[in-house]
Amino acid sequence: MFRARPDARPATIPVIVEGAEILVPEGASAAAAVLLAGLDAIRETPVTGSPRLPLCQMGVCFDCLATIDGVPNRQACMVPVAPGMRIARQHGARESGA
């Protein structure tokens, strides 16, 4: 469904999305990495368990909440990728105390 634009910068930054390494362009967001990885969801809503993917890409919708480098509830669209970053699906609400 999503793919990089033909004029996108080359994908050179390795990140781990749900355990799989992919390369993304420098300066891309963790949300872009999720979409480039082709996941069907990055989080599930706490009440109904409805799957969600990044939508607005500008910090408004919160559909991109993910666990990034072990920290839950990160807005993936607001986090630029870094080499070796680990992005994981968040199931429901974050665990308390995290």
Q: Which residues of 5-26 are buried (b: 16+ CB within 10 A; e: fewer)?
A: eeeeeebebebbbeeeebebbe
**Residue closer to ligand FES, measured from CB, 12 or 55:** 55
Q: To which residue do tokens 């993936």 refer?
A: 76
- Among the listed ranges 5-13, 18-26, 61-69, 79-87, the one in contact with ligand FES (CB under 6 A) is 61-69
**Residue closer to ligand FES, measured from CB, 22 or 63:** 63
Residue window 1-30: x/- pattern of binding to ligand FES, with contact defined by CB under 6 A: ------------------------------
**Residue closer to ligand FES, measured from CB, 24 or 64:** 64
CB of 78 to ligand FES, least distance (A): 7
30 contacts 79 by C-beta, under 8 angstroms = yes
Backbone phi, psi, residue 95, to 5°: -70, 140
